[in-house]
Amino acid sequence: QKILKEKELAIKEKVPQLLRTGLSYQEIANQLVSNPLTKRFIIDICWKLNKGKKIIPRIPANFPLFGDYLEDITSGLEKSGMVWDEVKKIEKIDYKDFVYDFTVAHPEHNFIAENFVVSNCIGGVAATDPDEEGVISPGGIGYDVNCGIRLMRTNLTLPDVKDKLRHLLAALFNNIPCGLGSTSSLKLPFHELKQVLKKGAKWAVGRGYGSAEDLERTEDYGRMEGADPEKVSQRALKRGKNQLGTLGSG
């Protein structure tokens, strides 16, 4: 799709503009040549436009098959879900307004991707200066509300857990439902589910899933003021019923 759009732009705008300046076909080709626009393709467009012929952009015959493309962009990444891509442009821009996010002060880690200013990665943890009443943010950025990033506070120190991290992580994954399609061991009727929506984290604390101290450390004490569960559709309740108490795949 990207290749077709670039070819359409060349046919409808770039080449006609340069033809009107009186440049030769070769001079136009030298100016516009780039992947996927070859010199031969550009010269052919120039000739057809001057002859009034209809031009239909096509995918080139040597365009890679999807399987080959997939193998190339995931080379060395196994099944991590990540792909290699090339950053088109990195440039410093003037911006004097507020930044509503933790930003990473590193010259290689600030760019624009799909209209988002990327200065932190999804899943990135931000720790601020403890001498300045700093905090730890488990998720400086995310595309969804509650996209599966959580922070667990313990009284353990680094020496306590350093040699046991693998076992600790395994225990967390075994006991906390997470990932796409995960379901909860909590089985609540709909009227009780509505109480969860209304009371929020206070409902969980009241049933032994947390402490009053947890509420103190949670934004808005873990509930939304004025929440009205009657505004939630039956379909939404059905979809969320088995996901209560789980982490998503964020």
What pLDDT, in 10s, does the model give residues 177-227?
Answer: 877 777 888 889 999 999 999 999 999 999 998 899 889 888 889 898 888
For 129-188, what is each residue's pLDDT tens digit?
Answer: 778 877 777 665 555 555 556 677 788 888 999 999 999 989 988 888 877 777 888 889
pLDDT > 60? residue 12: yes
Query: How far is 220 from 214, CA to CA, in rounded Å?
Result: 11
Instruction: Write out pLDDT tens, residues 61-100.
Output: 667 778 888 888 888 887 777 788 887 788 888 877 765 5
pLDDT band, residue 122 (cuts 50/70/90): low
CB-based contacts of 200, cutoff 8 Å, min separation 6: 221, 222, 223, 224, 227
Residue 134 has a pLDDT of 76
Torsion, Cα of 158, 159, 162, 167 (10° steps): -100
Q: Is the model's pLDDT at 120 over the cut of 90? A: no
Confidence label for 231 from pLDDT (cuts 50, 70 and 90): very high
The model's pTM = 0.46
CA distances from 106 to 96, 115, 119, 120, 121 (A): 18, 20, 9, 10, 13
Geometric angle at alpha carbon 87, from 81 and 89, rounded to 5°: 160
